[in-house]
Amino acid sequence: MTPFSISPFRFASAIPIGLVFVVVVGFLAGGEPTPRPTTPSRPVDYFATWPQQRKPDAVLVITGQTFGYLQPCGCSRPQLGGLERRFVFIQSLKQKGWPVAGVDLGDIPPAAAAVPEQLVLKYATILPALREMGYVAVGVGKAEFRNGLFQLLEEYAGQKEQPPYTLAGNVAGLLGGKLTPREVAFPGPGQRAMVGLVEVAEIGSVPVGIAGVVGPSVQKAVADMGSKTLIGFTPEKDALSEATKIFAAHPRKPTLTLLLYQGTLNEARAVAKQWPQFRIIVCLSDDAEPPETPDILTRAGAPDALILRVGHKGRYVGVVGAFQNSRGDFDLKYQIVPLGEEFNTPGTDEVASRTNPALARLDQYAEKVKSRNLLAKFPAGPHPAQVALPQKNVTFVGSEACKGCHAAEYTKWSESHHAHAFDALTTIAKRPALRHFDGECVVCHTVGFGYKGGYRNELATPGLKHVGCEACHGPGSAHAADPKDAKLLALQSPWRRQASDRLPDATTLEKLANRPAAERNQFLTAAQLRAINGVAQMCMACHDSENDPNFDLFTYWPKVVHPTAKK
Ligand code: HEC
Ligand code: HEC
Ligand code: HEC
Ligand code: HEC
């Protein structure tokens, strides 16, 4: 699933290495497909191990590293996460009579996007949605810094002074090598700066002190981004020391404290050791999957620190329950909750957008993507075939143009799901709708989007809707005009490393599909293996690990196989 996040394959140049989807051809490497998360068939009581006789005195919902994942795309099921479910989940806690507030570590926008305006729009969609869910504070991470914190805050905020407050206490402006204090660099609309150090929030009757600080590893990453971020940092320890002083002197005397720490687990441990004033520290996850239990650090003369990581893309939320104890302190309980389909808003789509404000925000988002015509702003680069034979002006002509000479292939294709893949966006995708105006969806549901001469929109290029022949075979105008040209022919099978490379027939593939991945290779020739590898990579540009975690060429190709007999 790519919940509104761009498929990196075509816009890879815009995306930093490390975030680019890496094709892992599991059956050659001998790996088994990763198990899908399962959605429980009946509701799970995630809090069964918490005290049942009493309610928590304060509950903190913890998220972070959402990377712009607004909503599951629905390409496959089940998928986790999304703002809609986050809202429903938080509501379910409130319905227990629990006093709840949310905090988010930051890295709210995607790390990069083909259309920067869309990235900013995501930030401006998520922040108000968080407010409506009762978030009180958010941190700031590499994703915000890379994409221009000033611009993001402006878009979010042409705002009044209202939660969630942005906390990153050691952030400063940086111009010409000189640091500008945070308050000066980020003036707010009211009393407080747009980027703060602390917030003391009342959750139920518990005053909770929240601070936000950027650790050394993220500071370094931001410095490496160059001077265009206009961001510098003051020492972490100065900010932490100031935060603890503010808490100590605060009239509400926050007895429960939390640090949104933009740093690694090891950095967070060091901070926890040095600053016993912080009870809960939320830090960055290296891993997309969060650990089930918190990292607990025991400290002499101070309560244990709870160090939390919630994984990537908002697929999980962490929940801390604080129970006041007789020592005037809190016993803390922690639970990580996967946001599965059981948290979808009940009712029809129309009822759901009325009752779930996060969904209403998503509807507005989709409406803006359409009205601002962001589709037209996606960059289009040359296809490899256009690079290989520039003098031929190869372009996309649509599947109808192939029909006359490849009738059998055409018939087979027209019976496959690929032949109506665009309809998934217009008729199946509903929360929100209008997905066919979003390049981040269109890219895998059309022919050649992101390439010169490829899909642009329904009116300009109606023949390039759906996953047509050229989505796999590449632009075919020159071959259709000159079918005997050997160079052009070779370009229509771009996955072939050598001319003899052919897939095994469908029956062989289906038989081998039942064998463990590691055993398959011994039944295949070198040419077949090369073909399998090449074709699978091509398919997985769309059937990637997120949009289709079950993809296996051995079972999928037989469903779309088309005759290879020569005419
Ligand atoms: C990286 C490629 C890719 C992107 C980007 C993508 N999709 Fe898909 N989508 C697929 C693939 C592949 C399938 C088929 C998965 C399968 O068969 O299990 C699919 C299937 C679907 C389906 C299910 C169709 C059905 O018949 O049930 C829906 C709905 C859908 N996508 C919506 C979206 C939306 C909405 C977006 C944008 C938010 C999107 N897709 C973006 C690749 C993509
Ligand atoms: C005017 C007739 C004609 C049209 C139109 C045409 N083709 Fe072909 N195509 C052929 C012929 C003939 C061959 C077989 C050539 C050979 O094997 O020597 C062929 C072969 C191919 C091959 C096999 C290449 C290989 O390496 O063996 C592919 C793939 C292909 N066509 C795709 C397409 C696609 C996609 C379109 C539409 C964009 C298309 N063709 C349009 C006549 C046509
Ligand atoms: C340009 C993107 C793209 C490429 C490349 C692509 N697919 Fe798909 N595929 C899709 C989309 C989108 C769907 C969902 C269509 C729908 O259901 O509306 C899909 C659906 C399918 C389905 C139907 C799944 C089902 O649930 O029955 C099969 C099978 C399939 N693809 C196989 C392949 C194979 C094999 C390859 C490579 C040879 C491939 N696809 C390449 C986008 C792509
Ligand atoms: C989902 C990706 C996909 C789509 C869509 C697709 N093809 Fe193919 N096609 C392939 C692959 C992969 C092969 C190579 C199979 C092999 O190596 O045996 C192939 C093989 C062919 C061949 C035979 C090449 C040969 O080796 O003799 C022709 C001709 C062809 N396709 C035409 C078409 C036409 C015409 C369409 C549209 C009506 C189409 N294909 C749609 C993936 C696709």
Torsion sign over Cα 544, 546, 547, 550: positive
Give 388-402 pLDDT, tens digit per residue. Answer: 999 999 999 999 999
Ligand closest to Cα of 411 equals: 4
Give, using CA atoms, the residue closest to atom 24 of ligand 2.
489
pLDDT value of residue 385: 96
The Cα-based distances of 553 to 1, 25, 307, 380 in angstroms read 18, 10, 41, 29
| The residue to which tokens 């919630």 are assigned | 310
Contact by Cβ (8 Å): 283, 65: no
CB 28 within 8 A of CB 71: no
How far apart CA 199 and CA 42 sit, in angstroms, is: 38
Is the CB–ligand 1 distance for residue 429 below 6 Å?
Answer: yes
Residue 4 pLDDT = 42
CA 445 to ligand 1 center in whole angstroms: 7
User: How far away, in angstroms, is 543 Cα from ligand 3 center?
Assistant: 7
Reading the block at residue 315, the tokens are: 């697929």
Q: For residue 482, how far is its CA from the centre of ligand 2 (angstroms)?
A: 9
Positive or negative torsion for Cα 45, 47, 49, 52: negative
Give the other-Cβ count within 10 Å of 327's Cβ: 8
Q: Which atom belonging to ligand 3 lies closest to the Cα atom of 445? A: 12
- Residue in the block written with tokens 């071959």: 479
Residue 350: count of CB within 10 angstroms of its CB: 9
Among all ligands shown, which has an atom nearest to the Cα of 82?
A: 1
Predicted pLDDT of residue 40 = 54
Which residues does ligand 4 sit against, CB inside 6 Å? Answer: 399, 402, 406, 409-410, 413, 418, 467, 469, 471-473, 502-503, 531, 535, 560, 562, 564
Residue 549 preceded by cis peptide, ω within 30: no
Q: Does any ligand 2 atom lie closer than 6 A to the CB of residue 406?
A: yes
Calpha distance 510→556 (Å, rounded): 9
Ligand 2 and 448: CB distance under 6 A: no
Tell me, using a 6 A CB cutoff, whether residue 566 lines ligand 2. yes
CB 497 within 8 A of CB 387: no
Which segments in the chain show pLDDT lower than 50?
1-37, 565-567
Give the pLDDT score at 42: 64
Structure token digits, residue 71 = 């909503």
Angle formed at CA 356 by CA 336 and CA 337, multiple of 5 degrees = 5
The whole-angstrom distance between residue 229's C-alpha and the CA centroid of its chain comes to 22
What does the pLDDT read at residue 128?
Answer: 94
| Amino acid at residue number 373 | N
How many residues are there in the chain? 567
* pLDDT confidence of residue 563: 73
User: What local confidence, expressed as pLDDT, does residue 41 receive?
Assistant: 56
Say if ligand 2 is within 6 A of residue 468 CB: no
For ligand 4, the distance from its centroid to the CA atom of residue 25, given in whole angstroms, is 20
CA distance 254 to 252: 6
For residue 184, how far is the Cα from the chain centroid? Answer: 33
Given a contact cutoff of 8 angstroms between Cβ atoms, the answer to whether 465 and 396 are in contact is: no
Could you tell me the distance, in angstroms and rounded to a whole number, from the CA of residue 480 to the centre of ligand 2?
Answer: 7
Task: Give the model confidence (pLDDT) of 46-91 as tens digits.
Answer: 999 999 999 999 999 999 999 999 999 999 998 999 999 999 999 9
**Long-range interactions of 227-231: CB distance < 8 A, separation 24+:** 227/174, 229/145, 229/146, 229/148, 229/149, 229/174, 230/150, 230/173, 230/174, 230/175, 230/185, 231/145, 231/149, 231/171, 231/172, 231/173, 231/174
- pLDDT for res 564: 56
Going from the C-alpha of 75 to that of each of 336, 425, 544, the distances in angstroms are 25, 10, 10
Ligand 1: atom nearest CA of 4 is 38
pLDDT at residue 7, as a whole number: 39
Sign of the four-CA dihedral 290, 224, 115, 453:
negative
The two three-digit tokens of residue 412, written as one number: 């087979």
**Which atom of ligand 3 is the closest one to the Cα of 421?**
18
Ligand 2 atom closest to Cα of 469?
35
Reported as a single tens digit per residue, the pLDDT across 146-185 is 999 988 988 776 567 789 999 999 999 998 889 999 999 9
Q: Name the closest ligand to CA 7.
A: 1
Residue among 378, 426, 447, 547 to mutate when testing ligand 1 (max atoms within 8 A of CB): 547
